[in-house]
Amino acid sequence: MTGVTVKTVSRVVNGGARVSPETFQKVTDAIETLGFRRNEFARQLRQRTATTIGLLLTDLSDPFFGTMMRTVEDIALQKGYMLLVASSAEDPVRSVKTLASFAARGVTNVIMSAPSGIDTGIIKSELATGSNIVLVDRPIPELLLDTVLTDNFDGAARGTKHLLQHGHRRIAFFGDEPAVYTAGERRRGYESALLEAGIAVDPELICMGAPLSVDVHKVLDTFLSLADPPTAIFSGNNRWSVLLLRTLTEVHRSMAFVGFDDFELAELLVPGRTVMAQDPAEIGRMAVQMLFDRIEGARTPPRIVQLRSELVSRGSGEIGTRPLD
Amino acid sequence: MTGVTVKTVSRVVNGGARVSPETFQKVTDAIETLGFRRNEFARQLRQRTATTIGLLLTDLSDPFFGTMMRTVEDIALQKGYMLLVASSAEDPVRSVKTLASFAARGVTNVIMSAPSGIDTGIIKSELATGSNIVLVDRPIPELLLDTVLTDNFDGAARGTKHLLQHGHRRIAFFGDEPAVYTAGERRRGYESALLEAGIAVDPELICMGAPLSVDVHKVLDTFLSLADPPTAIFSGNNRWSVLLLRTLTEVHRSMAFVGFDDFELAELLVPGRTVMAQDPAEIGRMAVQMLFDRIEGARTPPRIVQLRSELVSRGSGEIGTRPLD
DNA sequence: GTGAAAGCGCTAACAG
DNA sequence: CTGTTAGCGCTTTCAC
């Protein structure tokens, strides 16, 4: 119509292979002046895959995932991909439904943090139909997939050792529900550090559960009224840290403290909060890189990449043991 | 083939209007056993619109937007919509490109926080082709669109008044670049409260700019070495608050302080930080509601909804004036 | 190097 | 209430 060509346009839009330079130029100009935009629906209907990455995270409002999202977006954008995001709220059923919605939209490339108890059946069938899935933050034990996560065991062990080095022998541990992979690993790391120091693990000093489902005041009271109460706390995640710090303030009680996960303003509290910091940006970067490797056809066996966490000393972990009130 | 029907399936999948109950049942069963899933591409190609909401925000890692995203997702999910998210990083050119990518994917329903200086041309042309756009956090001055935002002027005025009530007469103001809508409104609110109290606005106490582009130490030094230095600070946003609190700690200086936007752990600082809290969840809820009203055909004139911010007293804003060191 | 024709899976319009 | 026909805009053969 306009110029002279018909569907050579397609070839041009897709990189101009097998098109003469002059035709290419002519078409390019026409596209420019007419404001033509390729319809992604039609393209994707034909090609059976979308230039969209599905991002399924446990919680969109968690700054950890926020940072990850931003990194993933930056890299995806460079390759012309956009992000379809969704949250699982740790619900395996919701996760599976979301994966199905992704599939219905042709989103065959997914980065996800899988809740425990997720049905591996659907995941396997997605993979069988050519989907690419990269796991972040936690693996799926029954399934070997590309995975990027922090070395939780190691981080918790080093954090606990840090407290041990400052003389603590009674260290309380707070963590998420045992079913949550990271919670289990961190607890194992904590226990391993204790055992290595020749200290028996005391179940009376361990509290596992979703932070909001636990009566923190009561648990702390119980811990503190033990014959041999804890002099330090290892907090297994951010939400626990916030809750514990709040509660400790209320009962006018300060203890040595190390938490997993960094948080903003941790250095402005008194004392500054010592943490094992993860690197969500790096996790995102590696995950999206591994995903594009797959998209571009990599056939190597799945890899699990563990990132080291960093001990950030700010004061709260360096409080020595001291006599009790 | 399988049962007996052909494309009655379409009617069934779309809610079963004009289908006999028994056929409906038969088809539903078949769908179930065969694991049939409607191909959204084909559907969307035909209908020329996606069951996807485009969410264009200035910063994905900002907890403010994180909370908003979560709310929007919850409501969107109930209507079968998913979220295509992207960030503008305050860049008007990037925003326009993103809008174009949305359009190419048939995403005609968009919630966005528009950066200043955005080209209204493309927005108008999107609207002309039937797109629905709801603005959050800030309006586009030249364009009347459905908008949900906090009453920034009022919030800043009330926050400033709070400081005035505690005896402060010299109040410093820190805010984002003047081009950012919220920054301007908040500054106007601050000035209005001063004027109402019969206090002249002193430009020497006002610092506007992107927090990272400003040498905070130097600015604070300058402010504090004035003949008549400030005894209180009003911080125009969260990033400024963090930077200011950090810097004030370093120079061992505490001042009365009120900040716009709440942040986690604000109550654990000493003193607790008094803030004007916005309600990102409510902003998200209203925005997505307004969007669905449009999708469902509402033809009412565009509305701008202003939400009131809440003064949360935690100590830092209740420090009275006191003699200088 | 370019064009013509077919078809991706679905729904709108119109019959029956 | 249900079936038929056509076509959304693109890419993929396969000719030329």
Q: Which residue lies nearest D8, CA-to-C1' measured? A: B46
- Give the tokens for residue B290: 């307004």
For residues B172 and B106, what is the distance between their CA atoms, to the nearest angstrom? 47
Q: How far is A198 from chain B (nearest CA, A)?
A: 35
CA of B14 to C1' of D4 (A): 19
What is the tens place of the pLDDT at every residue in B32-73?
887 777 888 888 888 888 899 999 999 999 999 999 999 999
The confidence score (pLDDT) of residue A89 equals 93
CA dihedral in degrees (A176, A177, A179, A180; nearest 10)?
Answer: -20
The confidence score (pLDDT) of residue B109 equals 95
> Is residue A4 very low, low, confident or very high in pLDDT (cuts 50, 70, 90)?
low
> Which of A45, A66, A47, A49 is CA-nearest to residue A57?
A66
CA of A51 to C1' of D2 (A): 37
Cβ within 8 Å, pair A100-B269: no
> Is residue B323 very low, low, confident or very high in pLDDT (cuts 50, 70, 90)?
very low
**Partners of A149 in the β-ladder:** A306
Return the higher-pLDDT residue of A243 and A16. A243
- Across chain B, mean pLDDT equals 91
Q: Model-level pTM?
A: 0.89
Burial of B299 by CB count in 10 Å (0-12 exposed, 13-18 middle, 19+ buried)? exposed
CA of B1 to C1' of D5 (A): 19
Find the nucleotide nearest A21 (Cα to C1′).
C1
For residues B23 and A65, what is the distance between their CA atoms, to the nearest angstrom? 46
What is the tens place of the pLDDT at every residue in B198-241?
999 999 999 999 988 999 999 999 999 999 999 999 999 988 99
Q: What mean pLDDT comes out for the span A250-267?
A: 88
Q: Point out the residue among A44, A77, A84 whose CB comes nearest to the CB of B84.
A: A84
What is the tens place of the pLDDT at every residue in A73-113?
999 999 989 999 999 999 999 999 999 999 888 899 999 99
Cβ within 8 Å, pair A41-B69: no
Asked whether residue B18, judged by its CB, lies under 7 Å from any atom of the DNA or RNA strand C, the reply is no
Asked whether residue B6, judged by its CB, lies under 7 Å from any atom of the DNA or RNA strand C, the reply is no
The confidence score (pLDDT) of residue B33 equals 84
Cβ within 8 Å, pair B104-A60: no
Asked whether residue A5, judged by its CB, lies under 7 Å from any atom of the DNA or RNA strand C, the reply is yes
What is the tens place of the pLDDT at every residue in A161-178?
999 999 999 999 999 999
Partners of residue B40 in chain A, C-beta under 8 Å: 104-106
Asked if residue A16 has pLDDT above 80, the reply is: no
Which residue from A minimizes the CA distance to B53? A84
For residues A172 and A163, what is the distance between their CA atoms, to the nearest angstrom? 11
Q: How far is A196 from chain B (nearest CA, A)?
A: 35
CA of A38 to C1' of D9 (A): 8
CA of B139 to C1' of D11 (A): 41
The DSSP call for residue A204 is G
Asked if residue B304 has pLDDT above 70, the reply is: yes
Cβ atoms B70, A87 nearer than 8 A: yes
Q: Give the mutation candidate from A37, A60, A252, A316 for the B interface (greatest B CB count, under 10 A).
A: A60
Residue type, A205: L
Q: Which residue lies nearest C5, CA-to-C1' measured? A: A7
* Nucleic chain D contacts, protein chain B, residues 11-40, CB cut-off 7 A: 11, 18-20, 22-24
Partners of residue A242 in chain B, C-beta under 8 Å: 264-265
Which residue from A minimizes the CA distance to B241? A265
Produce one character per residue of A194-208: b if its CB has 16 or more CB atoms within 10 Å, e if not: beeeebeeeeebbbb
What is the tens place of the pLDDT at every residue in A199-239?
999 999 999 999 889 999 999 999 999 999 999 999 999 88
**Of the candidate ranges A197-211, B7-21, B237-251, B309-323, the one whose mean pLDDT is the lowest:** B7-21
Q: How far is A128 from chain B (nearest CA, A)?
A: 15
What is the tens place of the pLDDT at every residue in A120-166?
998 998 898 889 999 999 999 899 999 999 999 999 999 999 999 99
- Across chain A, mean pLDDT equals 91
For residues B78 and B25, what is the distance between their CA atoms, to the nearest angstrom? 23
For residues B102 and A82, what is the distance between their CA atoms, to the nearest angstrom? 9
